[in-house]
Amino acid sequence: MVWRMRHRGKSEPSAFTIAIRRTAELDDREVATFAQWTRDIFGAEEDKYEWAEPDWHVVVRSEDRYVCHGAITERVATAGGASVKLGGIGNVMTPPTWRGRGLGAAAMREAAAFMRDTLRVEFGLLLCSAGLVPWYCTLDWRRVKAPLSFWQAGGKVRWDEEAMVLACTERVWPEGPIDLCGLPW
């Protein structure tokens, strides 16, 4: 997908491309770039948990530069005791110099369409801090108020921050405790 956006205060449009690629398709430079962004943007928070390896990456570029990234992990988990097919969204990142241009929103819209149309998941699910909830709400994600747990080396642990879901089908989100049935994303 290619689209054009105007930078604030500039008259010439810039082209941005979005590609969704399997993790195995990323080259060493891309892996290193996104790992560095994760350290720079999430810092020590990233080290609190062991994270799942994503299946897919949403990569936004401007000419020869990466400007935004998100990851998707496919998983069957449970909510309220019912199985749910999920697309787990993680590592949504835009370096500070590229923020405020709608890149993250464009990447999330593309990820949602991919999860719905290609992966055919029932819901998207993401974990975030409270400060990000309003932004995700503008993209039709909704907060889930249920205990959420996932696996770690010492056993199951509980997520104490926010969880949000995006309906990708007509199914209603099952109320009740959520178990990611694996590592978080």
What is the pLDDT, as a whole number, of residue 14? Answer: 67
The pTM (predicted TM-score) of the whole model is 0.90
Give 148's pLDDT tier (boundaries 50, 70, 90).
very high
Task: Flag whether 48 is in a domain.
Answer: yes
Residue-range definition of the domain harbouring residue 50: 2-179
Task: Flag whether 74 is in a domain.
Answer: yes
Q: How many domains does the chain have?
A: 1
Tokens linked to 23: 């993790």
Q: How are beta strands 142-144 and 123-128 bridged, if at all?
A: unpaired
Look at residue 50 and tell me whether its pLDDT is greater than 60. yes
Task: Flag whether 119 is in a domain.
Answer: yes
Task: Flag whether 185 is in a domain.
Answer: no
Contact 138, 109 (CB under 8 A): no
Burial class (CB in 10 A: 0-12, 13-18, 19+), 159: middle
Which candidate, 65, 50, 60, places its Cα nearest to that of 17?
Answer: 60
Return contacts of 151-156, CB within 8 angstroms, 24+ apart: 151/180, 151/181, 151/182, 151/183, 152/49, 152/50, 152/183, 153/50
Phi, psi values for residue 184, rounded to 5°: -75, 165
Task: Flag whether 169 is in a domain.
Answer: yes
Instruction: Give the mean pLDDT of 146-158.
Output: 97
Give 10's pLDDT tier (boundaries 50, 70, 90).
very low
What is the pLDDT, as a whole number, of residue 131? Answer: 95
Give 9's pLDDT tier (boundaries 50, 70, 90).
very low
Gap between the Cα atoms of 80 and 159, Å rounded:
16
Whole-number percent of the chain with pLDDT over 70: 92
Instruction: Give the mean pLDDT of 32-37.
Output: 93
What is the pLDDT, as a whole number, of residue 4? Answer: 44
Task: Flag whether 142 is in a domain.
Answer: yes
Contact 94, 67 (CB under 8 A): yes
Task: Flag whether 184 is in a domain.
Answer: no
Task: Flag whether 132 is in a domain.
Answer: yes
- The CATH number that applies at residue 134 is 3.40.630.30
Q: Which helix (H) or strand (E) holds 134?
A: helix 133-137
